[in-house]
A = this chain, B = another copy of it.
Amino acid sequence: MTDPAASAPEIITAAILVIGDEILSGRTKDKNIGYIAEYLTAIGIDLKEVRVVADEEAAIVEALDALRHRYTYVFTTGGIGPTHDDITADAVAKAFGVGIDHDPRAVKLLRERFGDAYLNEARMRMARIPDGGDLIPNKVSTAPGFRIGNVFVMAGVPAIMQTMLDAAAATLRTGTKMLSETVRADAREGDIGGPLGEVAKAHPGTAIGSYPFFDPERGPNTNIVVRSRDPHSLAAAKAAVEAMLEQVRASIK
């Protein structure tokens, strides 16, 4: 007999918390959610939820508390710069109920890079780290992000966020990767909806999604995405989708 626990997939979950008035006003279009989503999927972490909130302490604390107790990891973006509207670090300290002050390690990094003259009070804000936080290096502009508990606090500027995510990722537990296969239906979504639902029911170990798109060559078309952590289940469901599509296409022609 095989031990079922030995082959049970390990599932690691995550949420993203985007912090920024500029995203909610529409002035800045977020580029981090899609990037982080793809990144986490690739390394075996399931992104389960995203929230975007304003630069308001109460909103940040409430969202962070909701997410950090529910998911393995939370990644925040935005609000860790040198100006008065950068309040993420203080809000995170409040959520964790810890103090916050200039962190000697962060101050040292900034001083080595920029020198004392450049390090005014505003720039020193970027060295404020909640007690117990570990720095996340920033290869682009030095001012670090930080990790506290299961929360990773990163910059909002995409290039900086991306280098921080690389650094953070090296420290993450990852789970059994979600595998996926995309099958191009060459049929309209409405024509395959019924039989596709039957295939989905018959393959409960997989998640099957249907995504219509406009195909310049044939007009309305559909991508079927089959996902599973188990390669055998994935292959079986994909084969069933392909057989179903062949039947549907034959019946339409």
Interface bits A179-203 vs B (CB < 8 Å: 1, else 0) = 0100000000111111011001100
Q: Which residues of B contact A29 (CB under 8 A)?
A: 34
* Contact A51:B54 (CB < 8 A) given known A22-B211, A84-B200, A157-B212: no
Residue of chain B at shortest CB distance from A143: B190
Q: Which residues of B contact A225 (CB under 8 A)?
A: 22, 27
The answer to whether B21 touches A207, judged by C-beta atoms less than 8 angstroms apart, is yes
Q: Which residues of B contact A21 (CB under 8 A)?
A: 207, 209, 227
**Total residues of chain A contacting the partner, CB 8 A:** 65
| A residues 107-134 touching B (CB-CB < 8 Å) | 118, 120-123, 125-126
Chain A at the B interface: SS class: mixed
Q: How many copies of the shown chain assemble into the complex?
A: 2
* Contact A121:B26 (CB < 8 A) given known A83-B210, A189-B83, A209-B55: no
Interface bits A64-92 vs B (CB < 8 Å: 1, else 0) = 00000000000000000111111000000
Task: Show 30 A/B contacts (Cβ-Cβ < 8 Å), sorted by A.
Answer: A22-B211, A22-B225, A23-B37, A23-B50, A24-B47, A24-B49, A25-B47, A25-B178, A25-B180, A26-B35, A26-B41, A27-B38, A33-B52, A48-B59, A49-B52, A51-B51, A81-B193, A81-B210, A82-B190, A83-B189, A83-B192, A83-B197, A84-B208, A85-B200, A85-B209, A86-B210, A120-B194, A121-B193, A123-B190, A126-B190
